[in-house]
Amino acid sequence: MAVCNETIWITGATSGIGRALALKLARQGNLVIASGRSVEKLSALRVEEPSIEVLPFDVTAEDTIKTTQQRLRTLAPVLDRAILNAGDCEYLDLSSENWASLEKMVQVNFLGMVNSVRVCLPLLRHSERGHLIGVGSQAIFAPFPRAEGYGASKAAVSYFLSSLRMDVYKEGIDVTEILPGFVKTPLTARNDFAMPFLQPVDQAADRIVRAIEKRPFQYYFPKRLYLMLRIASWLPRLWLKLQARSAQKKN
Ligand SMILES: NC(=O)c1ccc[n+]([C@@H]2O[C@H](COP(=O)([O-])OP(=O)(O)OC[C@H]3O[C@@H](n4cnc5c(N)ncnc54)[C@H](OP(=O)(O)O)[C@@H]3O)[C@@H](O)[C@H]2O)c1
């Protein structure tokens, strides 16, 4: 059954995948509450789709969890689904000895996910069958160069969600981990390497919306990238050499 007549909170909804999801789900007849840090981008989203409610939230601001929860409760006392999608990607530059990006990845992607769960879990409990959806990454299936921070933060997200699933199961709350491959968004526009099977953002949003109807534990797409990364993980030395060769070509 198509996702319709539900109340859905989406983080990271001011750009890319989250924005496309917010528009699609709102136009499908759901009450969408969109979050992000940028008030301007949230206002622009509301101009594009006036049915969307907006709620500014910086996922790294642990001290705003309570107030954000109160505001969310005012907008939606019962939450059917939460799509926790806010995230960032910065690569580590070992030559500059700057490890700050690694800490930032953990703050935004992992602790940001934890903070977002803390905001929405009490409201999902009021739904007949709450659904918590976290956006991870297929980067967890094989190592990528300079992705020490990004990959580790998404691996942490993956474990966190699978463990959380066990704890909220008895409360009737489902947990789904979405694992996208490369999607064309402002985040990937910064990448300076080849991105196999790069897909348009609307196609990615369509796939996610169709997938969450069935509440799977995990949903990864495109399958072709998943297969490629599984083979890479079975042949780690070959993968290492291929990655090293393409890095050399770039320099
Ligand atoms: N694009 C891909 O190929 C790809 C692949 C795998 C996984 N993903 C994951 O998909 C998610 C969305 O990525 P995207 O490609 O759509 O990126 P994007 O276009 O850069 O959008 C990122 C969103 O996250 C929000 N955000 C970033 N830092 C935040 C913070 N501290 N607090 C609250 N919101 C924050 C941004 O909103 P504000 O700036 O307004 O705060 C924005 O709405 C991320 O978790 C990413 O890791 C993307």
Whether 212 is in a domain gets the answer yes
Would 138 be classed as within a structural domain?
yes
The CATH number of residue 68's host domain is 3.40.50.720
User: Which tens digit of pLDDT belongs to each residue from 2-20?
Assistant: 899 999 999 999 999 999 9
Q: Which residue among 19, 23, 24, 37 is best mutated to probe the pocket of ligand 1, counting the most ligand atoms within 8 A of its Cβ?
A: 37
The answer to whether residue 119 sits within a structural domain is yes
d(CA 19, CA 50): 14
Which of 10, 11, 17, 39 to mutate to test ligand 1, by most ligand atoms within 8 A of the CB atom? Answer: 17
The catalytic residue positions are 150
Distance of CA 156 to the CA centre of its chain: 13
Q: Measure 57 CA to ligand 1 centroid, in angstroms.
A: 13
Q: For 81-128, what is each residue's pLDDT tens digit?
A: 999 999 999 999 988 888 999 999 999 999 999 999 999 999 999 999
202, with CB counted inside 10 A (0-12, 13-18, 19+), is middle
Residue 17 lies in a domain: yes
> 139-186, pLDDT tens digit by residue?
999 999 999 999 999 999 999 999 999 999 999 999 999 999 999 999
Q: What is the mean pLDDT of residues 29-42?
A: 98
Q: How many domains does one find in the chain? A: 1
Residue range of the domain that includes 112: 7-250
Using one digit for the tens of pLDDT, what is the confidence trace for 215-230?
Answer: 999 999 999 999 999 9
Q: Is the pLDDT of residue 251 over 80?
A: no
